Structure 1
Amino acid sequence: MSGPEDVMFSPAVKAEQARLGSRESFEDRDWQTEITDDLRQFLAAIDTFFFATASADGRPYVQHRGGPAGFLKPIGSHMLAFADFAGNRQYITLGHLKENDRAHIFIPHFATQQRLKLWGRARVVEDDAELMERLVDPSYKAKPQRAIAFRIEAWDINCRQHIVARYSEAEIAPAVNQLTQRIKELEEEVARLKAAP
C-alpha cells in the first residue's frame, strides 16, 4: 500500500532525488494527509488556486479557479470541495475527471509568500443541493453549475523562495485607509496652522 510520499514522488522522482542528493531529506518525513487547523485557516483566506488534471493518456491541464475568500472549503477531515462556476465552456477538467480522477491543487499565497501543494483524487458532483448550499456564497455574483470534491492524499507547504510578495486590494485596504485618514488629519492640521494668526 502506498503512502503520501509515494503519491507525491514517483519512482522516477525518487531516483532523481537520489541522483541529485536530496533524497535523504524527504525520507521518513511526516507528510500531511489530514486537514489541520492551520490548513483550515490558510484556506479561509485564499481566493485563488490552480487545479491540475490529466487525461487518461497523461495529457496535463491546469485551470485557474477563483472565488470569494475561503471558497475552497474543507468538508471533512480529508476532503475539500468548491463550487464550479460557469466559465469558458471547454469542460477540459470535467472530461479529464471522467477518465482519470488524479488531481492536484496548487495555491500560491503571495501576501505571505507561501505555496501549498495538495495531491489527491477529485470527482464532479452534480445535483447535490445540500453540498452546493455549503459551498456557495450568495453574495458572490457568479453562477455555480456543480461542485468538485477533492480527497486529499498528501499535502505540503514549502519554501518561499522566488515568490514575490503581492497583495490583493482587500489585503492592502486597511493600510490605505489608515494612510488616507492620516493624510486627512495632516491636511486639517495644516489648514489650522495656516489660519492661525
Structure 2
Amino acid sequence: MERQGGFRDRVDSMLEEFLAERESFYLGTASADGRPYIQHRGGPRGFLKVLDERTLAFADYGGNKQYISLGNLSENDRAFLFLMDYPNRTRIKIWGRAEAVEDDPALLARVADPGYRDGKPERAIVFHLEAWDVNCQQHIQPRYTAEELEPALEGLRTEIAELRAENARLRALLPEAQPLAG
C-alpha cells in the first residue's frame, strides 16, 4: 500500500463506478466507549450515492428497530464502510465520519430510490470520507448472484434442449430394439 502512495482521500472514477454497482455493504460503527458494531446494508444497485468527492450518502429506511448504528453515530461519528465485489474478487474499505440527517428534504430526495420501499426514507446517512483503499484479492472466493449466473445458465439450457432434440432425431433413425438372445 505505501509503495502506491498511501490511502486515497477522494472519490475518483474507479470508486464511483464501483459504488454504482453495489447492492450491499457493511457499515461499521462504535459506541462512545469503543464497542464495535457492524451492520449489513442493502438496497437497489447504486443506492450508496456519491454526493461529491468527499461525501457519500444512502437512504435509511425502517428496519429491525434496534437503532444500534444510529445510537453509536449519535455519540461517536467515526464509521467504516466495507464493500465486496465477489465476482471480481475486489474489496474496498472506506474510513470516515457519518451522521444521520432527517430534516433535509432535498438530501432525502437525492438519496431516495423511488422504486424501493415506497421511496420514502426515514433519514439519510451521510458519510464524510477521510480515506479509502482497495484490498488485495487473496482469499476472496468468487460468489455470484442468480442474476449474474443467468446468462451462463440460459446458454446451458439452450445447449441441453438442442442436445435432447438431436438425441431424439438420432433415436428415430435407429431400428426397433431387438430382444437380446440369451
TM-score by length of 1: 0.79
Alignment of 1:14-163 (within 5 A): 26=2, 29-141=5-117, 144-163=121-140
Q: Judging changes above 3 Å, is the alpha-carbon distance between structure 1 residues 28 and 49 closer, same or farther for their aligned structure 2 residues? A: closer
**Cα displacement (A) at 1:32:** 0.9
Structure 1 residue ranges (4+ consecutive) displaced by more than 4 angstroms after TM superposition: none
Counterpart residue number, 1:170: 147
Shift of 1:112: 1.2
Q: Look up the SS of the partner of 2:17 in the other structure.
A: helix
3-state SS in 2 of match to 1:61 = strand
Q: Out of 26-35 and 143-152, give the one that drifted further.
A: 26-35
When the two chains are superposed, the root-mean-square deviation of aligned CA atoms in Å is 2.0
What is the one-letter code of the residue matched to 2:133?
Answer: D
Q: Does 1:189 align with 2:170?
A: no
Q: Which has the higher helix share?
A: 1
Whole-angstrom CA distance in 2 between matches of 1:179 and 1:135: 39
How far is 1:128 from its partner? 2.8
Q: Distance in 2 between matches of 1:188 and 1:130?
A: 58
Change (3 A) 1:173 1:60: same
Q: 1:196 to 1:106 in 2, by over 3 A?
A: same
Match of 2:179?
A: none
**CA shift at 1:90, angstroms?**
0.9
The 1:30/1:183 distance shift into structure 2, 3 A limit, reads: same
- TM norm structure 2: 0.85
Compared with structure 1, are the counterparts of its residues 192 and 150 closer, same or farther at alpha carbon in structure 2 (3 Å cutoff)? same
Once the 2 structures are TM-superposed, how far is the Cα of residue 79 of structure 1 from its aligned partner? 0.9
Structure 1 residues 127, 170: closer, same or farther in 2, change over 3 A? farther
Secondary structure at 1:187 match in 2: helix
1:196, CA displacement in angstroms? 4.8
How far 1:103 sits from its partner (Å)? 0.4
Which amino acid in 2 is paired with 1:173?
E
Aligned pairs for 1:2-17 (under 5 A) are none
* Distance in 2 separating the partners of 1:182 and 1:140: 37
Gaps of 5+ in 1: 1-24
Structure 2 segments unaligned to the other structure (5+ residues): 175-182
